[in-house]
Structure 1
Amino acid sequence: MKRDQRCFHCGLPVTGITACEQEIAGEKQSFCCTGCMTVCQVIHESGLDDFYNRLNYQNAEVPPPEMPVELEQYDLPEVQKDFVRSLADGRKQAHLLIEGIHCAACVWLIEHGLKEMVGIEFAEVNLAHQRLNVRWNSDELALSEIMHRLAKLGYAAAPFNPEAAEGSLQRRNRSLLFRMAFAGFGVMNIMWISIALYAGAFSGIDSEHKQFFHWISLFIATPVLIYSGWPFFRAAMLGLKQARLTMDLPIAIGSFATWAYSCWITFHTSGEVYFDTVVTFLFVILIGRYLEGLSKRNASSAALRLMELQPRLATRILPEGEERISVRKLIVGDHVLVGPGEKIPADGVVLHGESYIDESMLTGESRPLRKEIGASVVAGSMNVDGSLTLEVGSTGADTALARIVTLVEEAQGSKAEVQRIADRIVPWFVAATIGLAFITFIYWLRSDFDTALLAAVSVLIITCPCALGLATPMGIAVGVGAGARRGVLIRHGQALETLSSITHVVFDKTGTLTEGQMKVVQTHLNNNFTHDELIDFAAAIEGKSRHPLASAIVAELKGKQLPCEGFLSESGLGVSGIVKNRRIVIGNQRMMQRENISVPDQIKDQQFQIEQKMGVAVLVAVDGEVAGLIHVQDKVRDEARALIQSLSEQGIGITMLTGDSIQAAHALKNSLGQMQVVAEVLPEDKEAEIRRLQEIGEKVLMIGDGVNDAPALARADVSMAMGSGMDVSMACADIVLVSSDLSRVGFAMHLSQKTLSTIKQNIGISLAYNLILVPAAMAALVTPVFAAIAMPISSLLVIGNAILIRSRVGKRRVADMVDSSLKLPVQV
């Protein structure tokens, strides 16, 4: 083999005893090791040869990492609970750290290599963080198979750990701090040399001493350029390899050009050197980058603060006594003791004791909530006073806190449409920067090379697309974090942008405008049935349903629940089944009509009176004859009336959708205020109503419970779900109200308006900065050091303005987003 031959896969030189050859696509290729050869064979056999067209493999840096072993351990539920999220229908989602990613070609290979696997629904790689977000069907595919596939493609995968990621962020900041300190040390020393040279220029200095100082400056500046400037050079080179113009490219060109020119002057012993300029502006830029990194972390630290809510230890109760263990060792069904002042270690149910629980960091609700036996509690909330014994229901990634953290992380990393536009502008911005610097250099070169060089470098440094690139993501990150702290979980940035332009709000009734906690008020009987018999028959059927009405009827059951056969649910109508060999039909008037069951006049009268009071009349028929009706009552949310009036005053259209009768819907309308009412609708009818509003030009916000409203939520421009259905809500809604507090609808709309306004201000700051200072730099009125100071200031201004979103929305309490004087409790 030739010594200069390179590996076909990774691009390293083919030397040593590990070198080998293999025929690929009819041509013999050389490889540096069997690992590269094996991976290349897999890529070729999988039909992914386009990887090498994208790779430009000579730029690759290292061969594939060592193949992982014992991947089957990641299929164990106790291992997956820390980093795998279970979704509906056997689907799972995980974030994996990928070792061996070098460039965009690697991203392409991983995404396409996984998407061809049966069971993979979604695979997306974040190149900057070397992280894979993958969603798959666990009934068709095991996680270990995904990781084996990645290994065959040449990449090692490991579970993503937020704590490890935070440690990595701290290491990067520490590295930046070291580089900044090294540059600062260089500045302190080179300044003495510069002072000597400037003083000598006025008092007279012989050429030998001047040359001596030039060489000392060279020896100081060169290590600073290599070590402190490496992050800029590395980012610029990676961008060029991927045919992208990055924000670090102008800095790299400017600093290297100034250093190279100063080296040329040093070697030729004539002219002025600018090593001090190189060292100083690198030092200043690193200060700006470090402060910018701290500001970014502070601005988008909502997920980190949520993670800090998770306690590290728990007191598990065993037959032989109590033990303190890591929360990672808890399993579903364990009993744990939580004392006063301790955090709840896992989601669960109270078995013994009663106490007040502070859930403010999760829900935004400032008042502690009383929890008694049977009440649900969530991990991360604080036990205020009493001692509680809990049965663990969910641990690790399955807890509500873990799901919220994941939601916030994904939202803060998402892109709104305005950001996508900015991202497309940035490369052209960089190209324009280089072009303007070149024009500046050519223009001033006619008079003086030194002036031309310094002016061009000033243009390269001061023309900063960083602020433009940060304008939107910082606004989105702060807005999402501000919402999370107040119990408003925003799934992606686009939702914030669209919410600010909503013209029509559509509400579901049950569980949204009302609390959805139905209670049986009384029964009205027909023929010879008793109250207990009517409830027994109804509860036997409703026990298999998850509707709020069903829960109310089952809760009324006094004795043992009767067995039911042939259960059938008709969405928007009712349910039916066989109990004690008798056919039971339960539902509304339309259900009875469909079953050809006649409703007696006296029952119709009772039904009309109940619906006039905004109650719900549930008809119960036994063997084709109406046995009676059950009067079920709900309670309107305290904030509903104030919210409806506030939206009306803003000129926003309002519609209420409900499957209840027209009489009940209009009774609620009369209580809450002016709105359009669409009653007796099925789930698919709700979706059709949303579509009708969109066709006439409305931008629609749909607010529902996230279960029966799923089609309508999916159709709306922005969807908002109440936190009562957390699992389903997170899956189908753009925004989730964790505490189910309707006043947070007003807060979310106010937050979206402030966030979008701040993003526009940030873009304006970035453009104004460049419009003012770039012409000054081109006119040689700005030095490179001043440019280095001004550039990070523009980014810090953008970050600082984004952080102000918190105070802008914080000036008005959540409860004040609607007029609190209008909050009148309304009983339904």
Structure 2
Amino acid sequence: MQQTCFHCGQAIPEGDLILKPIEGEERSFCCHGCASVCEVIYESGMQSFYQRTPEGELLSPPPAPNKDIEFYDYDEVQEQYVNELGDRREITLMSETIHCAACVWLIEHTLAKTDGILMARVNFTNKQIKLRWDNSKVKLSDIIKTLNSIGYDATPYDASVSEAATKKANRDLLYRLGFAGFAMMNAMWFSVALYTGANEDPEYRNYFHWIQLVIATITLAYSGKPFFQGAMTSLKGRTVGMDVSISLGMLTTYLYSVWVTLHPENVGDVYFDTLIDFMFLLLIGRYLEAISKNKAVDASRRLMELQPKVARSLQDGEEKIVPVRALIKGMQILVKPGEQFPVDGQVIKGEGLVNESMLSGESREVRKQTGSKVAAGTLNVDGSMMVEVESILQNTQLGRIVHMVEEAQGSKAPIQCTADKIMPWFVTVTLSLAAFSFVFWLFNADIEFAIMTATAVLIITCPCAFGLATPMAIAVASGVSARHGILVKNGTVLETLRDMDHFVFDKTGTLTKGKMQLARFEAENHLSPAGKKATFKAVASIENRSEHSLAQALVDSICQQEDLRVSQLQEVEHFKAFPGKGVTGTVEGEKWHIGTARWFEEEDIELSFDLREHTLQRAQKAQTAVWVAKNAKVQGVLYLEDELREDAVELIARLKAQGKQVTLLSGDLQVVAQQVAEKLGGMNVIAEVLPEDKNTTIQGLQSNGEKVVMIGDGINDAPALVRADVGIALGSGTDVSMESADIVLMNNQLLSVDTAIALSNRTLRTVKQNIASSIAYNIIMVPLAMSGALTPLIAAITMPLSSLVVIGNAARIRSFFSKKAMRKRQAVHQVSESARSSKAPLV
């Protein structure tokens, strides 16, 4: 005989039998869903549910979990969403069911208990879950099932899918809002009739009450569903969210009104109209909140929209329009004037001007020619160019920027972590206050007044404003700054940067332009003109393999001076870079050393006395010496000189005016670094340091209690950038330095360091304003509600307003980069500069 499911009564298919003990007795179920629902029913003490089910009527089993969820465990699927397919992986999940700060707490604490999950961070503003896990211990499908078990559907984040899901959720909310509005208008007619005399006639009174009951019941079931779903999710996770208090308030009002309707002999008023009204108002607030949040944090979406979705592919000499996703590395595409580059790549034919303002924030156009690099999303102004594809979509520079912005928007500042600790207690206190109000007024007034007061308390308290205070401000600030060339990768720095007291600058490429010119080559006496030419060519060939700014400067200078093209450089074997020291390489069987004098001494390469003296004289002119040796024999010294950045002097002056300590950290000779520091208006100098020394230097400053910011651009700056409390890299620097930094100045403007400090001040001020407003709201409104001075209807109006105030205040950060605000900041700095100049002593 075929078994039937204990819960739904349907036949259990062969092989699908699930056995689970219920109150000590083993029961049969057709699926895990039925077993879980039955277990919850018994745990809640509602087993009489099965006795009330009509005889012979089958229940519908809960919806089956997504059968395709295991597909997410395949590497071929995950590579679309995961950067590296090692044991430790990172992914961003999207869950539209996240709607309050309590959801954040529940998800993070549930996942934290799961073995194999290394990090779980929820972004309240864009409903994303940033996840890092050990794939050898737990599968992605199991993590998603864990989220499903506590009521949160989750899927890997995809920008287009996410946007569609957001639109669908907002549309669903709008339908429920519209239905509640329609019900409110109809219920209002009956309320008007009751208030104008029908209430005196028991027959009409009872008739209108029943009609309102029908309208309220349907409205509660449909329009109130989001609140009940949120409440069930919270209770299932053994926590309480704001939807618990709202649902409790609505059900209390509804059930009391039903009791009055069912017992017309008792004198009392129904509050169906009030219930529908504040349901409508709550949905308005939630809808406006969703729209406002989307507008406030859509910077990353607008950035990604700059990247074209199709490209002109050149296949066998023919031009075809193909999706960018179909392109692979090495393919060739054509970009015509007025079009945006759809990929990152290298120009192999053609030339023209390119507008890169969307990446750098600068409106100045850059000329591109054969060999130049181009970035996806930038605009081809006036030339037709053939480009070889190097990377597409999320792997492009624009894609990485969008990823970094989303990372920053999802990161938590220290002040937000404090707020998160408070959240679990917030609603518990609310329920306690509501219960106290109900009991107090039950004995000091009547049951109607007690119910209405308790309901007002349940609805008026809003933890959302408190939960949104920090993430909204950080999300807006990081998004708008990215559009103006300041890429904030970690939202935490927006809170901490303003408190930093020591700014340490790398010299070459940071305070200077990094475009050094070859000023002179001082050769050894034995070197002939032909030997000099061969030395130049060998140096250029070897340095062309290096990423260091000095190396590229050498290559450019030598190629220009010797009329060489990059394609004419020699083959280099056994190339090796020694950070902070130099490079080696073999050209045509000859081993070359190119680097510092100190390194040459370590390698036992003899340095002549005359050349040593000459380097000291050149150091007085702030020229950097690069020694060259072939087969351990010195050939001569290359002298490079660099120009200071135009805004370097002004930045140092601004930082000093703010009371910040400023230090120049360099691998150059002490005398060279000192000359540069004097040109910048004077600052501390730490020179002749190796990369590991830079890291140690930063650590030493921190051990003295100083909060350090490191600003650099090279590979050798990466350890120091990571070590510093805040690392700032220039966009013109190496990929390693940009990956290591917390802030990347894509516009390559040093003054953006001061702008970032000002943005940090503005963001933290906004966060404090938001927290203060949300606390003040609750301090003022909760006592009023407990005193009975506020009705549930007024509570429903004011509750969403507190969240909208927080969102609106955070959105004001967008004006930080307005022309008016920038002119005002510039005027303040000019006044300060004038004041300093007037106090300067006459010479």
For normalisation by structure 1, the TM-score amounts to 0.86
Bigger mean CA offset, 693-702 vs 517-526: 517-526
Q: 1:813 aligns with which of 794, 810, 822?
A: 822
Could you tell me which residue of structure 1 aligns to residue 243 of structure 2? 248
Spell out, residue by residue over 1:544-594, the C-alpha distance to the aligned partner (whole angstroms, 9 max, x if none).
433222223344253844444554433322233444444432211201222
Summarize the alignment of residues 350-365 of structure 1 with structure 2, pairs less than 5 Å apart: 350-365=347-362
Summarize the alignment of residues 148-227 of structure 1 with structure 2, pairs less than 5 Å apart: 159-200=156-197, 205-227=200-222
The answer to whether the aligner puts 1:510 opposite 2:511 as a matched pair is no
Could you tell me which residue of structure 1 aligns to residue 532 of structure 2? 531
Q: Distance in 1 between matches of 2:631 and 2:786?
A: 91
Could you tell me which residue of structure 2 aligns to residue 630 of structure 1? 638
Amino acid corresponding to residue 370 of structure 2 in structure 1: I
Could you tell me which residue of structure 2 aligns to residue 263 of structure 1? 258
Could you tell me which residue of structure 2 aligns to residue 542 of structure 1? 543
SS at structure 2 position matched to 1:85: coil
Q: 2:621 aligns with which of 567, 588, 613?
A: 613
Could you tell me which residue of structure 2 aligns to residue 75 of structure 1? 76
The answer to whether the aligner puts 1:791 opposite 2:791 as a matched pair is no
Query: What is the CA distance between 1:740 and its match in structure 2?
Result: 1.9
Query: What is the CA distance between 1:415 and its match in structure 2?
Result: 1.2
Is the Cα–Cα contact under 8 Å of residues 669 and 688 in structure 2 kept in the other structure? yes
SS at structure 2 position matched to 1:708: helix
Summarize the alignment of residues 279-678 of structure 1 with structure 2, pairs less than 5 Å apart: 279-446=276-443, 447-529=445-527, 530-555=531-556, 556-557=558-559, 558=564, 560-678=568-686
Is the Cα–Cα contact under 8 Å of residues 12 and 30 in structure 2 kept in the other structure? no
Amino acid corresponding to residue 230 of structure 2 in structure 1: A
SS at structure 2 position matched to 1:584: strand
Is the Cα–Cα contact under 8 Å of residues 584 and 591 in structure 2 kept in the other structure? yes
Could you tell me which residue of structure 1 aligns to residue 840 of structure 2? none
Q: Distance in 2 between matches of 1:13 and 1:414?
A: 48
Is the Cα–Cα contact under 8 Å of residues 105 and 420 in structure 2 kept in the other structure? no
Spell out, residue by residue over 1:418-476, the C-alpha distance to the aligned partner (whole angstroms, 9 max, x if none).
11111221222211211111111122112221111111111111122221111111111
Change (3 A) 1:781 1:242: same
Amino acid corresponding to residue 246 of structure 2 in structure 1: I
Spell out, residue by residue over 1:466-493, the C-alpha distance to the aligned partner (whole angstroms, 9 max, x if none).
2111111111111111211111111222
Amino acid corresponding to residue 812 of structure 1 in structure 2: A
Amino acid corresponding to residue 467 of structure 1 in structure 2: A
Is the Cα–Cα contact under 8 Å of residues 375 and 396 in structure 2 kept in the other structure? yes
Q: Distance in 2 between matches of 1:413 and 1:708?
A: 29
Is the Cα–Cα contact under 8 Å of residues 147 and 157 in structure 1 kept in the other structure? no
Amino acid corresponding to residue 480 of structure 1 in structure 2: S
Bigger mean CA offset, 356-365 vs 535-544: 535-544
Bigger mean CA offset, 164-173 vs 765-774: 765-774
SS at structure 2 position matched to 1:812: helix
Is the Cα–Cα contact under 8 Å of residues 503 and 661 in structure 2 kept in the other structure? yes
Could you tell me which residue of structure 2 aligns to residue 46 of structure 1? none
SS at structure 2 position matched to 1:348: strand
For normalisation by structure 2, the TM-score amounts to 0.85
Query: What is the CA distance between 1:388 and its match in structure 2?
Result: 2.2
Is the Cα–Cα contact under 8 Å of residues 33 and 64 in structure 2 kept in the other structure? yes
Change (3 A) 1:681 1:71: same
Query: What is the CA distance between 1:745 and its match in structure 2?
Result: 0.9
Is the Cα–Cα contact under 8 Å of residues 35 and 64 in structure 1 kept in the other structure? no
Change (3 A) 1:354 1:67: closer
Query: What is the CA distance between 1:795 and its match in structure 2?
Result: 1.1
Query: What is the CA distance between 1:707 and its match in structure 2?
Result: 2.2
Change (3 A) 1:240 1:813: same
The answer to whether the aligner puts 1:743 opposite 2:751 as a matched pair is yes
Is the Cα–Cα contact under 8 Å of residues 351 and 373 in structure 1 kept in the other structure? yes
Amino acid corresponding to residue 174 of structure 1 in structure 2: R
Alignment gaps of 5+ in structure 2: 47-60, 835-843
SS at structure 1 position matched to 2:322: strand
Is the Cα–Cα contact under 8 Å of residues 543 and 551 in structure 1 kept in the other structure? yes
Could you tell me which residue of structure 2 aligns to residue 119 of structure 1? none
SS at structure 2 position matched to 1:701: strand
Is the Cα–Cα contact under 8 Å of residues 11 and 30 in structure 2 kept in the other structure? no
Amino acid corresponding to residue 215 of structure 2 in structure 1: I
Q: Distance in 2 between matches of 1:564 and 1:127?
A: 49
Query: What is the CA distance between 1:130 and its match in structure 2?
Result: 8.6
Give the aligned length: 787
Change (3 A) 1:785 1:759: same
Is the Cα–Cα contact under 8 Å of residues 535 and 553 in structure 1 kept in the other structure? no
SS at structure 1 position matched to 2:728: strand
Q: Distance in 2 between matches of 1:28 and 1:280?
A: 47
Percent identity of paired positions between Structure 1 and Structure 2: 42
Amino acid corresponding to residue 253 of structure 2 in structure 1: T
Query: What is the CA distance between 1:33 and its match in structure 2?
Result: 5.5
Q: Distance in 2 between matches of 1:123 and 1:226?
A: 38
Is the Cα–Cα contact under 8 Å of residues 763 and 813 in structure 2 kept in the other structure? yes
Q: Distance in 1 between matches of 2:388 and 2:710?
A: 36
Query: What is the CA distance between 1:176 and its match in structure 2?
Result: 0.6
Change (3 A) 1:106 1:652: closer
Is the Cα–Cα contact under 8 Å of residues 312 and 326 in structure 1 kept in the other structure? yes
Q: Distance in 2 between matches of 1:330 and 1:603?
A: 54
Q: Distance in 1 between matches of 2:455 and 2:419?
A: 25
SS at structure 1 position matched to 2:367: strand
Is the Cα–Cα contact under 8 Å of residues 6 and 29 in structure 2 kept in the other structure? no
Could you tell me which residue of structure 1 aligns to residue 771 of structure 2? 763
Is the Cα–Cα contact under 8 Å of residues 345 and 373 in structure 2 kept in the other structure? yes
Could you tell me which residue of structure 2 aligns to residue 802 of structure 1? 810
Change (3 A) 1:127 1:680: closer
Spell out, residue by residue over 1:285-333, the C-alpha distance to the aligned partner (whole angstroms, 9 max, x if none).
1111111111111111111111211112211223342111222222222
Is the Cα–Cα contact under 8 Å of residues 83 and 397 in structure 1 kept in the other structure? no
Amino acid corresponding to residue 267 of structure 1 in structure 2: L
Q: Distance in 1 between matches of 2:744 and 2:459?
A: 43
Could you tell me which residue of structure 2 aligns to residue 17 of structure 1? 13
Spell out, residue by residue over 1:59-116, the C-alpha distance to the aligned partner (whole angstroms, 9 max, x if none).
996554315687798538xx94x544369x9987544569999999998897787838
Q: Distance in 1 between matches of 2:230 and 2:196?
A: 38
Bigger mean CA offset, 296-305 vs 458-467: 458-467
Is the Cα–Cα contact under 8 Å of residues 147 and 154 in structure 2 kept in the other structure? no
Q: 1:691 aligns with which of 687, 695, 699?
A: 699
SS at structure 2 position matched to 1:324: strand
Query: What is the CA distance between 1:191 and its match in structure 2?
Result: 0.4
Q: Distance in 1 between matches of 2:736 and 2:250?
A: 53
Is the Cα–Cα contact under 8 Å of residues 123 and 132 in structure 1 kept in the other structure? no
Q: Distance in 2 between matches of 1:467 and 1:248?
A: 14
Change (3 A) 1:438 1:95: closer
Q: Distance in 2 between matches of 1:729 and 1:83?
A: 24
Query: What is the CA distance between 1:135 and its match in structure 2?
Result: 6.0
Amino acid corresponding to residue 17 of structure 1 in structure 2: P
